[in-house]
Amino acid sequence: METRLDRYQGARETKLNQLRELIDKSENIVFLGGAGVSTASGIPDFRSGEGIFNQESGLKYRAVDVVSHSFFVEHPEEFYDFYRRKLCYPDAKPNKAHKALARLERQGKLKAIITQNIDNLHQLGGSHNTIELHGSVYRNYCVQCNKKYKLDDILATDGIPHCTRCGGIIRPDVTLYEENLDHSKVDAAIKALKKCDLLIIGGTSLSVYPAATFVQFIKHGNIVIINKSSTYLDLQAKLTIHDAIGEVLDEVVPKRRTKAQIEAAKQLRIKEEKARIRAEQRLAKKKAADSTK
């Protein structure tokens, strides 16, 4: 919870230590991230003062209108002009946040990354369990025959890209405004959230739905917010840190797992296995008792 403590020297280190402790005690962490995760990689966010929605679009239309389904259908040439200039960053590299999350996954603690980003940087940073809510610019397909295309195929063309097989328009596999999210991705995100023992939310203002409502699936209080600006959840979270997500994660996620952490994880797995066996034994006894009635 954000308090006046933030105003005093030493408050940041106190909060980092609290986060370290939460991570150390957790074995099923989920990370929910937004555009702020990738800004250190040179990719602008959308809603900050320097964000894409507050920049000149280079067109006679507002940027927020360009990234809509109706605009793509009605003005595909202008859409692709904006798309190539403002949404595609093929030279971007994973930053400290992406690398720290990959470390946390390798250490067996981070079970899923739920990202609203479309830049593929989590995967490039080494993460494998990534749920891309809004798709990826690295996947594209023909709207008529569904032939798949890479980002390089789109960037190698001018104007509207057309399918080499049937001549149909190619579109990016990203969710635009006015479109529904892939239900399988939402279901996977909710499933991961329900299982987690710690939710870390970072680099997002929590103003985009449905991701902004995902916290409702958390039945415990272990929620951490790491974001430069405030969110509507700041006062409800167990811990809120107003700082750059990459700097924070790089400091709190160890470069390698300690022997104590490995042993603690081993003991936790043994405990869980014993609990599972006991539950199965109780169920078997109940079924046996019921069958004799």
In this predicted structure, which of 64-73, 129-138, 276-285 has the lowest mean pLDDT? 276-285
Q: Is 125 a residue whose pLDDT tops 90?
A: yes
Q: What is the DSSP string of the chain?
A: ---GGGGSTTHHHHHHHHHHHHHHH-SSEEEEE-GGGTGGGT---SSSTTSGGGS--SSSS-HHHHTBHHHHHH-HHHHHHHHHHHT--TT----HHHHHHHHHHHTT-EEEEEE---S-HHHHTT--SEEETTEEEEEEEETTT--EE-HHHHHTS-SS-B-TTT-PBEEEEEPPBTSPPPHHHHHHHHHHHHH-SEEEEES--S-STTGGGGGGG--SS-EEEE-SS--TTTTTSSEEE-S-HHHHHHHHS-SS--HHHHHHHHHHHHHHHHHHHHHHHHHHHHHHHHHT-
- Burial state string for 157-175 with b = 16 or more CB within 10 A and e = fewer than 16: eeeebebeeeebebbbbbb
- Mean pLDDT score, 6-19: 78
CATH number, domain 4-252, options 3.90.180.10, 3.60.10.10, 3.40.50.1220, 3.30.720.110: 3.40.50.1220
Q: Is 4 a residue whose pLDDT tops 70?
A: no
Each residue's pLDDT tens digit, 225-273? 999 888 888 888 999 999 999 999 999 998 876 666 667 667 767 887 8
Each residue's pLDDT tens digit, 60-97? 889 899 999 999 999 999 999 999 999 999 999 999 99
Alpha-carbon dihedral sign for residues 254, 260, 265, 266: positive
| Residues of the chain above pLDDT 70, percent | 93
| pTM greater than 0.85 (yes/no) | no
Give the pLDDT of residue 211.
78
- Mean pLDDT score, 34-52: 87
Q: Which of 69, 122, 134, 162 is labelled catalytic?
A: 134
Give the neighbor-by-neighbor strand order of the sheet with 198-202.
130-132, 110-115, 29-33, 198-202, 223-226, 239-241
Range from 25-29, 44-48, 233-237, 260-264 that averages highest in pLDDT = 25-29
More confident residue, 167 or 205: 167
- Mean pLDDT score, 11-40: 94
What confidence tier does 57 reach under pLDDT thresholds 50, 70, 90?
A: confident
Q: Is 3 a residue whose pLDDT tops 70?
A: no
- Mean pLDDT score, 94-115: 96
- Residue 223 burial (CB < 10 Å; 0-12/13-18/19+)? buried
Task: Give Dmax over CA atoms of the chain in angstroms.
Answer: 78
| Residues of the chain above pLDDT 90, percent | 65
Give the pLDDT of residue 206.
85
In this predicted structure, which of 78-92, 144-158, 207-221, 232-246 has the lowest mean pLDDT? 207-221
Give the pLDDT of residue 262.
66
Is 98 assigned a catalytic role?
no
Q: Is 128 a residue whose pLDDT tops 80?
A: yes
Give the pLDDT of residue 264.
64
- Mean pLDDT score, 137-159: 96
